[in-house]
Amino acid sequence: MLAVVPIIYAVIDLRDDGNLTRLGNNVVEGLSNGAIIALVALGYTLVYGIIELINFAHGEIFMIGGFVAFGLYGTLGLTPETGAFGLIVGLLVILIISALASGSLNTMIERVAYRPLRNAPKLAPLITAVGFSFILQNVGILWLGASQKSVPDLLGSQSELFNVFGLSISRGDLLAVVATVPLVVLLTAFIGRSRLGKAMRATAQDPEAARLMGINVDTTISLTFLLGGLLAGAAGLINTLYNTQVWYFQGFQAGLLAFTAAVMGGIGNIRGAVIGGLIIGVIQGIFDNRIGNEWTPAFVFGYLVLIMVFRPQGLIGEETREAG
Amino acid sequence: MSGLRELRTSKWANPLLAGTVILAAALFPFFVGPLDSIMDDSILVLAYVVMALGLNLVVGFAGLLDLGFVAFYAFGLLVTGWWASDHFSDVNSKASSPGIHIGVGEFPQSLAGIHFNFLLLVIGAILICAIAGAIIGLPTLRLRGDYIAIVTLAFGEIIGRVAQNGDELTPFANNKLTNGRQSISPIDQIDLPFLEEFDQATNLRPYFWTVLALALVVLFVNFRLRDSRLGRAWIALREDEVAAASMGVPLVRTKLLAYATGGAFGGISGAFLGPYLQSVNANQFQFGFSIFILAMVILGGLGSIWGVVLGAVLVAAMNVFVIPDVLDGGAVRSVLDSLGLDFTFSQVSFGVFGFILVLMMVLRPQGLIPERRRKLEFAEVTGTDETLYEARA
């Protein structure tokens, strides 16, 4: 079902141009955006894996991360003219601060809006999550206004780095991959190897039994929200660098794309979320270029409905919680 | 005093009270000017009451969290855009009097395009929204609560997107499906027998009485539905789907009827708002609108009819009166200015509705006027509802 669209366009490209360059470039751009979506999707999948809640405000956590990053450009005085060393140090500082900002915001929301409802009917925390999503969007409006704001292009992200077979790989594409891969590897290692990661997996499997084994379930859940928020904040910075604009609504859009990715990969499944993010990114890249980006959300939502109805366990294997 | 107490306990108390309130509401326009802003505000509030009662059927009675209610608002408005304006201006354009006209006054007679009487528009909106509701409901039948919410949200967004970009679609010859980001405008004024001429530029009273009548009918239908076989099936479904099914409640039909009926009410409200607002603005068809209506239902109390009426009045009044007129005008404004804050509350109105959702769910999840059944549930020491943890066992 998913492969149909790329194949159709591959045939069209071969007929019209005699090569696959256009499709290839769509895919390259899609994979870079997909890497960002994947980071956001990890937050959804971690939280759903552990308390079965669709953290609707997660997209806005990503948006706030981007806003913090943009704000810090000015504070640290980073401009496109800054030298390479200053840029690297500055961006690392921004990465840490925006990730921490998003992470702590996510943890705080869990404490205020989800924890009191842990024994309430299941839809209650979903409704508060939607409420927080709107509150944060309006914080974004008050912060930077209601229209898109363009951001100084620190890295020259659109400038071509090298060209393979007509595929243009830009600096931004490289950045998205170089920044995302270590984060995902770190996360997988943390969950798979560390003591706290073990506690997370145990809580996801059976919170009651985990509590009896001496695991502090509340702390573990907070930790999960913190991890998801950290990744979303990092994604916010990468997005600010790559797409060079910030907007209060970007979180809502990215959030729904990322949620689709998480469902596609089998919600609760970390590797699935990453693969799902990349797939959604490619689909978005193709539709943006071929049909027009005003229609892309409609198609992605269409995919979401189809997947939820026909493969609610995800495209990639069975539902497995927190199984790296 | 004893007379009053007697009256309160007599079986006539409720009908008497209701009759007095209805009479007061019906006479109220005579005490204010025909174009007073309070008339405008009350008309919008009543239209939102109708919509909230529709959503309450789905979320409150049947327990299916619908985050895409904006779809029915969109369809209701679009019905008026299609069938009561010159949007399809080349329909039957070769005839001596171009266009199609059914039961409309002299002025619309002379216009091109399709022009139907208001009652036909209401019926059309009910049919289209009921069908759309059932279609949206179909894929959610196998899903659990939170997935239902996301699928309905997705449908709402798809329909909004199609309406916003509908000027690129031409399914019928050269006619655009919608006018895209530009509004379809003007919509024909309502035309009903026995009432003065409708013209919202000179006199709002006929519009007020129309929407009051619609709200009363919908309210009555709501009460009758709740106590009917179908209504009890919805509530059984909400309380425990498996138990309801094993007691012989037909799940598919019951769920689809909930979506269809709720959607039809939304459509009625939309079909009224089209002529009243005089335009179909696709930019309103956003997720935020669904949350606006959901906030009314949550504030009032899920499943409680009077609660939802109160919630709708409060939230809608906040939207049309408190935020633009009180918070953004006069004293509050000057205080904000003196503090050097240059934002307006209108900018962040959806944040206010989001805040209502969070506050209510955390502090008083049963709503302002809880439904009797729910009140009992919340009074129990441990909820029997599925909790986050039990859900997985």
Asked if residue B168 has pLDDT above 80, the reply is yes
Among A211-225, B188-202, B211-225, the minimum mean pLDDT is found in: B188-202
**Which amino acid, residue B51?**
M
What's the CA gap between B52 and A118, in Å, rounded?
Answer: 27
Q: Which chain A residues touch B355 with a CB distance below 8 Å?
A: 131, 135
Q: What DSSP line would sit under A214-227, residue for residue?
A: T--HHHHHHHHHHH
**Radius of gyration from C-alpha coordinates of chain B:** 22
A-B contacts at Cβ under 8 angstroms: 153
Q: Residue B383: its pLDDT value, please?
A: 45
Say if B353 is an interface residue toward chain A (CB within 8 Å).
yes
Q: Where are the domains of chain A?
A: 2-310
Q: What is the pTM of this model?
A: 0.88
> Shortest Cα distance from B345 to chain A (angstroms)?
10
Distance CA B28, CA B25 (A): 5
Which range is least confidently modeled, A118-122, A155-159, B286-290? A155-159
Q: Which of A84-88, A156-160, B192-196 has the highest mean pLDDT?
A: A84-88
**What is the least distance, in Å, from the CA of B180 to any CA of chain A?**
11
Q: Give the percent of chain B with pLDDT over 70.
A: 92
Across chain A, what does the average pLDDT equal?
87
Percent of chain A with pLDDT over 70: 96
Whole-Å CA distances, B26 to B47, B97, B313: 15, 39, 17
pLDDT in tens, B1-37: 566 677 667 777 778 888 888 888 888 888 888 888 8
Least trusted range by pLDDT, from B91-100, B164-173, B176-185: B91-100
Confidence of residue A1 (pLDDT cuts 50, 70, 90): low
Most confident of A43-57, A302-316, B190-204: A43-57
Q: Does B250 touch chain A (CB under 8 A)?
A: no
> Which pLDDT belongs to residue A322?
47
CA B293 to CA B312: how far, in whole Å?
A: 8
Q: Does B343 touch chain A (CB under 8 A)?
A: yes
Percentage of chain A exceeding pLDDT 90: 43
- In this complex, which of B146, B357, B382 lies closest to A54 when CB atoms are compared? B146
The answer to whether domain A2-310 has CATH 1.20.120 is no
pLDDT, tens digit, for every residue of B185-203? Answer: 888 888 777 777 777 778 8
- Most confident range (mean pLDDT) of A116-130, A212-226, B142-156 is A212-226
**Does B393 have pLDDT greater than 50?**
no
Residue of chain B with shortest Cα separation from A140: B348
CA–CA dist B147, A249 (Å, integer) = 23
d(CA B253, CA B266): 20
Lowest mean pLDDT among A46-60, A310-324, B174-188: A310-324
Q: What is the mean pLDDT of residues A48-75?
A: 92
Closest chain B residue to the Cα of A52, Cα to Cα: B388
- Please tell me which residue of chain B has the smallest CA distance to A118: B388
* Residue-level pLDDT at A161: 72
Separation of alpha carbons B263 and B51, rounded Å: 9
Query: What is the Cα–Cα distance from B70 to B356, expressed in whole angstroms?
Result: 19
Q: Does A320 have pLDDT greater than 60?
A: no
Of A134, A132, A124, which Cα lies nearest the Cα of A53? A124
Residue B73 has pLDDT above 50, yes or no: yes
Question: What secondary structure does DSSP assign to B246-270, as a single string?
Answer: HTT--HHHHHHHHHHHHHHHHHHHH
A314 or A243: which leads in pLDDT? A243
* Chain A residue at shortest CA distance from B365: A124
Report residue A18 as tokens. 């005699």
For testing the chain A interface, which of B59, B143, B146 should be mutated: the one with the most A CBs within 10 Å?
A: B146
Backbone angles phi, psi at B280, to 5 degrees: -115, 105
A206–B392 C-beta distance less than 8 A: yes
Structure token pair of residue B339: 């503090």
Least-confidence region, from A20-29, A31-40, A190-199: A20-29
Rounded to whole angstroms, what are the CA distances from A271 to A317, B33, B255?
Answer: 11, 65, 36
Dist. CA B72–CA B128, nearest whole Å = 9
Of B143, B158, B387, the CB nearest to A298: B158
